[in-house]
Amino acid sequence: MSKDHFETMAIHAGQAADRTTGAIMTPIYQTSTYVQDAVGKPRGYEYSRTGNPTRTALETCLAALEGGEYGLAFASGMAATDIVLRLLAPGDHVLAGNDVYGGTFRLFDKEFRRFGLTFSYIDTTDLEQVRQSLKPETRMVWLETPTNPLLNVTDISTVAGIAREHSLDSGDVGLGHPFLVVDNTFATPYLQQPLELGADIVLHSTTKYLGGHSDVVGGAVVTRHEAVYERLAFLQNAVGPVPGPLDCFLVLRGIKTLAVRMERHSSNAAAVAEFLSSHPRVQRCKYPFLQSHPQSEVARQQMKFGGGMLSFILKGGEQEARKVVESTRIFALAESLGGVESLIELPAAMTHASTSESALRVDPGLVRLSVGLEHIDDLIQDLKQALED
């Protein structure tokens, strides 16, 4: 199996046929413990918080898809985020984008600040601002690209170079420079490969496109650094935010069709973006591959397609936006994203409500779409009737 062919790895990496029965699908090892041949002599697994064969298959597959050496699966994207932040110590500084998922901001601001971490939020698309905002105590740079919900795009490769110029004491699990963490949830490994562009850690909410069917919650972390992996694996076991075997099975099942789904998500979203950008009631539409997007050139350099997410602002503001999101018939009014069905929401009042009293506050009239796999004509007609009612 060639590592060059993503579609093949998505179906086969870590997922050999079951040796006992020949089952082509990875079994769901629904067990909490494992028989040992003698004291201290397990057959590979001891306890399912520490490791489970279904989870191992998922972690192996995730690492292969992201071009990493080590993968770890978690019970949610926020659990993965929590564990990554535990690489740091009181007094450390995190430089983050000023447009991040509301749950990420909530965890940073309401929890980790209490334990002595400090955070700065900047426009990471401004590379000079990134360079100038690094402090002697900066030990992590946190990127979302494309961002949630504004779909801003950051040049990962250049930020990686800037981070590597910022020399630090390596410490126990340090790298000699700040960890560059990229939340790759929106793009997925099919559209974007942050490790290849210089990132140290890639993070996912596998709830979204990797699972792809709105039926599972999970998270993942991938890295190439052995010391980082060993520390994260220790924390995964010590803290215990692990997914169950059925959850791992469902994400593995979703990954098998990731490539074909992302191509359809992207083509549908591009068509919706073109429609919205020319609609007289739309003030602005943000989609990475639109020519009007301020970072479209960067997006096309580091992404295969534009993805399935977009956002737009109506000329009528919040009142009109609320009317539109409550008037669609195919686009379901719901949080989350990345499933086969199309979703619509108001981030300021829903997924990003935690930022309302901060500098990261989202325009209350901003509408976010997760464009699904329905027929494109039906999706555009649905938006058209909602905008024109």
For residue 183, indicate whether it is catalytic.
yes
Q: Which residues of 295-309 are buried (b: 16+ CB within 10 A; e: fewer)?
A: bbebbeebbbbbbbb
Which residues are CB-contacts of 130 (< 8 A; sequence separation ≥ 6)?
A: 95, 122, 124, 141, 159, 162
Of the residues 183, 200, 247, 382, only one is catalytic, namely 183
Residue 5: CB atoms within 10 A of its CB come to: 12
Annotated active-site residue in 70, 101, 121, 287: 101
The answer to whether 101 is a known catalytic residue is: yes
Residue 36: φ, ψ to 5°:
-105, 145
H or E segment and range at residue 309: strand 309-314
Which residue in 55, 139, 208, 224 is the catalytic one?
208
Would you tell me the crossing angle of helices 53-65 and 245-255 to the nearest 10 degrees? Answer: 30
What phi, psi does 353 have (nearest 5°)? Answer: -60, -30
Q: Residue 113 catalytic?
A: no
The 3-class SS string of 337-360 reads CCCCCCEEECHHHCCCHHHCCCCC
For residues 310 and 180, give the distance between their C-alpha atoms in angstroms, rounded to a whole number.
25
Q: Which of 34, 49, 253, 300 is catalytic?
A: 49
Alpha helices by DSSP H, listed for 24-85, are 53-65, 77-85
Q: What residues are labeled active site?
A: 49, 101, 183, 208
